[in-house]
Amino acid sequence: MPEQLRIVGLEEHVVLPVLLDAWAKAGVPRIPQLGYGDEPFARRLRDVGDRRLADMDDQGVDVAVLSLASPGVQNLTAADAVSVARAANDALAEAVRAHPRRFQALAAIPTPSPEAAAAELERAVTRLGFRGAMLYGRTGDKPADAPEFDDLYATAERLRVPLHFHPQTPVRAVQEAYYSGLPHGVGPMLATAGLGWYYDLGVQYLRMIFSGVFDRHPGLQVIAGHWGEVVLFYLDHIGILSHAAKLERPLADYFRQNFWVAGSGTVSERYLRWTAEVVGTDRMLYSTDYPYTFGTRPGGFPFLDTSGGVARSFLEQAPFTQEEKTAIGSGNWETLTGHIAAVTDVAP
């Protein structure tokens, strides 16, 4: 009988008091989806203890790699982003120390202050033992390929740690042009978790490639959730731009050499198989997007609920060899970040 898979979830969201306070100051809506209030969803988002551990057991997840919910600190002023990122990372490190066999963490990075961003990544990795960082595409109106982020990318490349990108809400002009005027409640959802998030971030990935980020930093590794944020499904078409952009490699090669892809709790076998065909199972990781896909079956919709053991059964029943399933569940993550486990100085 095959050994039970070890599953590490890489996109497992948290909000912390320091972040809630900073968001409130910045005028962020105080809604349960961002951790405000007393609803079960909001409490799950804030919990880094018994409730989360019980839900991980329910899902069948062995290790959760904790990171701040979108947009992290990237919607704050430069000064606030630096102080909140540092405090949040210290709090995440404390949560990991309390449950070192069940939790790891991705750092919050203060990209509104580019000169501090690389320094905080260095501190989080070398002092706190974090496995990488979570970023959120744009910083204000600055795209991810803006030149001021080159030091951050160079630092990630040197430290050999991945940068996991998560979507955030499209800019207001895009929301108004594409998602307004729809039936009540549909537009905002379509602009975010329905579709808009993924197009917004997919464009950021392409901008990074076409503007030469990966040519300048060929060792930079990026984790893409949501089965590649739409882009994987159009690589054969978008590749026509490679010549005009004067890319050093075919477009698809960037996704096979600089990207790792996870499903973010979208339990669709079609997307799973397509991702494996495009990038290979040796570039696939696992995530559940907790708590956004925990107990969420509106109208019985089957593809966005990882509770009740679905996170585990989805991978166990995947049309892959046991070796490939093991790699996706945890092996590829250890290959990518296992060297960080040797960090022993975890003082804040």
What's the pLDDT score for residue 193?
86
8-338 domain in CATH 3.20.20.140?
yes
Per-residue pLDDT of the chain (348 residues; tens, 9 = 90+): 567 899 999 999 999 999 999 999 999 999 999 999 999 999 999 999 999 999 999 999 999 999 999 999 999 999 999 999 999 999 999 999 999 999 999 999 999 999 999 999 999 999 999 999 999 999 988 999 999 999 999 999 999 999 999 999 999 999 999 999 999 889 998 998 888 889 999 999 999 999 999 999 999 999 999 999 999 999 999 999 988 999 999 999 999 999 999 999 999 999 999 999 999 999 999 999 999 999 877 667 778 899 999 999 999 999 999 999 999 999 999 999 999 975 544 444
- Among residues 19, 89, 12, 72, the alpha carbon closest in space to that of 44 is found at 12
**What tokens were used for 340?**
């960080």
Q: Tell me, what's the pLDDT at 342?
A: 54
What pLDDT, on a 0 to 100 scale, did the predictor assign at position 9? 98
Residue that is written with structure tokens 């390929």 in the block: 145
Alpha-carbon Rg for the chain, nearest whole angstrom, is 19
The question of whether 289 is a catalytic residue gets the answer yes
Cβ atoms of 11 and 289 within 8 Å: the answer is yes
How far apart CA 107 and CA 67 sit, in angstroms, is 7
The whole-angstrom separation of Cα 76 and Cα 82 is: 9
- Closest CA relative to residue 46, chosen from 54, 85, 38: 38
3-state DSSP of 152-183: HHHHHHHHCCCEEECCCCCCHHHHHHHCCCCC
The predicted pLDDT at position 213 comes to 97
C-alpha 56 chain-centroid distance: 18
Residue 217 and residue 145 in contact, taking contact as beta carbons nearer than 8 Å: no
Joined together, the tokens standing for residue 227 give: 């089965």
The dihedrals phi and psi of 87, each to the nearest 5 degrees, come to -65, -40
Helical segments of the chain, H only: 17-26, 40-46, 50-59, 78-98, 114-126, 150-159, 172-178, 186-189, 196-210, 213-216, 226-229, 235-238, 251-257, 269-279, 310-316, 322-326, 332-337
Q: H or E element: which one contains 66?
A: strand 63-68
Structure tokens at 183: 């039936």
Is residue 99 within 8 Å of residue 53, measured between CB atoms? Answer: yes
Q: How far apart are CA 80 and CA 21, in angstroms?
A: 11
Which is the catalytic residue, given 55, 145, 289, 305? 289
CB 288 within 8 A of CB 312: no
Query: What single string gives the DSSP state of each residue in 211-261?
Result: TTHHHH-TT--EEE-HHHHTGGGGHHHHGGGTTTTT-SS-HHHHHHHTEEE
Q: What is the pLDDT of residue 343?
A: 53
Q: Residue 301: what pLDDT? A: 75
Angle at 51 between CA 49 and CA 56, to 5 degrees: 95
What are the backbone angles phi and psi of residue 259, rounded to the nearest 5°? -120, 150
Tell me what pLDDT residue 25 has.
94
